[in-house]
Amino acid sequence: MCAVADLAAANRPQKWAKVLDQSRCIGCHACTTACKSENEVPLSVTRTYVKSVEVGAWPSTQRAFQVTRCNQCDDAPCVTACPTSAMFQRADGIVDFDKRICIGCKACIAACPYDAIFINPEDHSAEKCNFCTHRLEVGLEPACVVVCPVEAIFVGDMLDPSSKVAQVVNREPVTVRRPEKETNPKVFYKEAHQTTLDPIAARRPEGDNFMWSEQARGPQSVNSGHPAGWSNSSAAALLSYDVRHEAPWDWRVSLYTWTKGIAAGVYLVALLLLFTGTGDGPLFRWAAPVLGAAFLAITGALLVWDLEHPERFYLIFTRPQWRSWLVRGAVVISAYGAVLAVHLLAGVSGSQTLQKILVIPGLPLAAMTSVYTAYLFAQSKGRDLWQSPLLPPHLLVQSLLAGAAALLLVAPVVEPGAAEPIAYVVAGSALGHLLMLWGEVTLVHVTAHAHLAQWSLVAGDFKGFFWAGVILVAVAVAAPVMGVFAAPFALAGLLAHEHAYVQAAQTVPLA
């Protein structure tokens, strides 16, 4: 497909790769400005930059550089996560993007284990390094390759063993960033230092500046380097230059997990009551579906609001990329919403039988609505905290707690008889939630990143939200005693927990 390759090359498969030779890099930042120029990248965002770390103790010190950018993964999490194929992989291996169909959901940013993707403030679409494909197509090397004073950057076809890239990759000591993420990067580093490759190996400097620039600040800022006490390297290493990074998913996503939990939970709890014979009264017939539909609507509104291109929301359905859990989730939510709508219509037409038949699709759809977010989060390959096998059941337990608490609020009015069993559901699910949290905070996570996120959750930036969540939910365990008064504690506690959990996972620097 590459129109420019010589004829022989055009007829065989290609795999474009790049070598960043840190043994030559002089830290001049020419690649940064050449890229800004070639790709008209605005201030505040970068497709490529040169991170630096001071290693050692005087007079045995070095400044280690790392040209930092998209890794052109062969198994690119951003492509998998993108709901519309705006991020896509070309036949020649290059991960490219199409801004015309980007809805701005930031799933690719959340998915990227290298924090290499950003939203362009001019056009509000996701972008990153794409090897200057528009240049490759006219037979030119990428802009950074051409500008580099010391020829530290070069590209080539890995499948062509005579190419310089293949020779270096095959014959010299190269490495990639974070191979444990199973992304198979095609950007190889020659002689890069461990303290730059690992984003948390170097110490984040005190104060608010680096060697000659300010550190980023702002609610969603993520600074590279480890906070005090979180060293991931026995080498003395101090981060001396980095650019702004931002956590992609803000409070709206935290809130969405909460509203969606309620939306799924109310129906699930109503079904629990139905199956345990406690009742098929107005709670099942009206309250649960009304609450479910309402919170589902809020959920949808939050999701759309969080898009950089809300007007392109429909593309999720018109050009779905089925591996994306955003697409799968949208379908699940839509189907669940449809069930709730029919359930309510049936209620209007007085058809209780239909309502009960609807339980057959309704139950799995509500459960999937609750649980799919675990898969959506897990698709964010860089966020180790979210790669937890316990997350699906935990989300289900949270949904039950949220749903039960919401129903508990209305039960005294709608169906007073159900209040007590619901209170027990609240108590039970609150206990279950706390038990799972206990596992979360006491078990040492296997990766340093998950460990750091866990620290951020329980002892770092989000400890306030986290412990408020724990205490409030703990209070709700007394629901059988407190009755309806336990419900606000449970709901507020869950909301605090969702926020802490969603945000803490994103505090770990990836680049």
Partner 1 sequence: MSRRPSLDELAVRVSAAHDEVVARGETFYPGPSRVHLAAFPPTQRWDDWIELDSRSWPERVERRYMLVPTTCFNCESACGLLAYVDKETLEVRKFEGNPEHPGSRGRNCAKGPATLNQITDPDRILHPLKRAGERGEGKWVQVSWDEALDDLAARIRTAITQQRHNEVMYHVGRPGEDGFTERVLATWGVDGHNSHTNVCSSGARAGYHFWTGIDRPSPDHANAKVIFLISAHLEAGHYFNPHAQRIVEARAAGAKLIVVDTRLSNTASHADHWISPHPGSEAAINLSIANYLIQNDLYDRDFVRRWWNWPEYLASEHGGIEPSFGSFEKILKELYSGFSFEFAAEESGVSAGTLEEIAKIVAQAGTRLATHSWRSAAAGNLGGWQVSRTLFLLNALLGAIATEGGTHPNAWNKFVPKPIYSPPHPGTWNELTWPLEYPLALNEMSFLLPHFLKEGRGRLEVYFTRVYNPVWTNPDGFSWIEALTDERLIGLHVALTPTWSETAFFADYVLPMGHSSERHDVHSYEQYDGQWVGFRQPVIRAARGRSGEHFTDTRETNPGEVWEENEFWIELSWRIDPDGRLGIRKYYESMEHPGEKLSVDEYYGYMFEHSVPGLPEAAAAKNLTPLEYMRRFGAFEISKKVGRVFDQEVPARELDDAATGDFGRVFTRAAPPESTNVVPMGAPEPDSEGRRPVGVEVDGKVLRGFPTPSGRLEFWSKTLADWGWREHALPGYIRSHVHPAKLAEDQMVLISTFRLPVHIHTRSANAKWLDEIAHTNPLWIHPADAVRLAVRAGDLVRVATETGFYVVKAWVTEGIRPGVVACSHHMGRWKLGDQGQGQMMASVTLDGDGKDGDWSMKRTKGVGPYNSSDPDTQRIWWTDVGVHQNLTFAVQPDPISGQHCWHQAVEVSKAAEHDQLGDISVDAGKSRQVYRRWLELTRRADLHSPNHTRRPIWMMRPLKPAKEAFSIPEQHS
Contacts of residue 209, defined as CB under 8 A and 6 or more positions apart, other chains included, come to 215
Report, in Å, the least distance between residue 14 CB and partner 1: 11
Cα separation of 387 and 184, whole Å? 18
Give the distance, in angstroms, between the CA of residue 345 and the centroid of all CA atoms in the same chain. Answer: 36
- The nearer residue to partner 1, 64 or 436, going by C-beta atoms, is 64
Does 61 help bind partner 1 (rule: CB under 8 A)?
yes
Type of residue found at 239: L
Cα separation of 79 and 44, whole Å? 24
Find the binder of partner 1 among 102, 165, 436, 484 (CB under 8 A). 165
Contacts of residue 34, defined as CB under 8 A and 6 or more positions apart, other chains included, come to 143, 144, 146, 147
Give the distance, in angstroms, between the CA of residue 101 and the centroid of all CA atoms in the same chain. Answer: 20
Full DSSP string of 386-446: G--TTHHHHHHHHHHHHHHHHHHHHHHHH-GGGHHHHHHHHHHHHHHHHHHHHHHHHSPPS
Strand, helix or coil at 63? strand
Strand, helix or coil at 324? coil
Largest CA distance in the chain: 84
Does 197 help bind partner 1 (rule: CB under 8 A)?
no
- The nearer residue to partner 1, 52 or 387, going by C-beta atoms, is 52
- The nearer residue to partner 1, 140 or 431, going by C-beta atoms, is 140
Q: Which of residues 118-157 bind partner 1 (CB under 8 A)?
A: 121-123, 130, 132-141, 143, 145-157
Candidates 40-48, 249-257, 300-308, 398-406: pick the segment binding partner 1 (CB under 8 A).
Answer: 40-48
Q: Which of residues 216-275 bind partner 1 (CB under 8 A)?
A: 216, 236, 238, 240, 244
Find the binder of partner 1 among 13, 75, 211, 276 (CB under 8 A). 211
DSSP state of 508: S
Report, in Å, the least distance between residue 154 CB and partner 1: 4
Find the binder of partner 1 among 12, 44, 180, 345 (CB under 8 A). 44
- The nearer residue to partner 1, 9 or 363, going by C-beta atoms, is 9
Full DSSP string of 206-273: SSSB-SSSBPP-STTB--SSBPTT----SS-EEEEE----B-S--HHHHHHHHHHHHHHHHHHHHHHH
Does 4 help bind partner 1 (rule: CB under 8 A)?
yes
Q: Which of residues 373-412 bind partner 1 (CB under 8 A)?
A: none
Q: Which two tokens stand for residue 55?
A: 């290693």
Report, in Å, the least distance between residue 219 CB and partner 1: 13
- The nearer residue to partner 1, 52 or 429, going by C-beta atoms, is 52
Find the binder of partner 1 among 11, 58, 219, 389 (CB under 8 A). 58
Find the binder of partner 1 among 20, 34, 119, 274 (CB under 8 A). 34
Does 40 help bind partner 1 (rule: CB under 8 A)?
yes
Report, in Å, the least distance between residue 172 CB and partner 1: 12
Does 92 help bind partner 1 (rule: CB under 8 A)?
no
Q: Which two tokens stand for residue 459?
A: 């002892």
Does 12 help bind partner 1 (rule: CB under 8 A)?
no
> What is the crossing angle of helices 391-414 and 288-305, to 10°?
130
Does 28 help bind partner 1 (rule: CB under 8 A)?
yes
- The nearer residue to partner 1, 29 or 319, going by C-beta atoms, is 29
Cα separation of 429 and 477, whole Å? 8
Report, in Å, the least distance between residue 142 CB and partner 1: 9
Report, in Å, the least distance between residue 164 CB and partner 1: 5
Find the binder of partner 1 among 12, 13, 75, 98 (CB under 8 A). 98
Report, in Å, the least distance between residue 113 CB and partner 1: 24
For tokens 């939990």, the residue is 261
Strand, helix or coil at 287? helix
The size of the interface with partner 1 (CB under 8 A), counted in residues, is 84
CA distances from 84 to 212, 252, 450, 507 (A): 40, 21, 29, 27
Report, in Å, the least distance between residue 296 CB and partner 1: 36
Type of residue found at 359: V
Instruction: Please report the sign of the dihedral spanned by the C-alpha atoms of residue 180, residue 182, residue 185, residue 190.
Output: positive
Report, in Å, the least distance between residue 233 CB and partner 1: 15
Find the binder of partner 1 among 170, 213, 276, 352 (CB under 8 A). 213
- Cβ atoms < 10 Å from Cβ of 187: 24
Q: Which of residues 322-361 bind partner 1 (CB under 8 A)?
A: none
Report, in Å, the least distance between residue 156 CB and partner 1: 5
Cα separation of 149 and 30, whole Å? 8
Type of residue found at 488: P
Report, in Å, the least distance between residue 460 CB and partner 1: 20
Does 75 help bind partner 1 (rule: CB under 8 A)?
no
Candidates 58-66, 313-321, 446-454, 474-482: pick the segment binding partner 1 (CB under 8 A).
Answer: 58-66
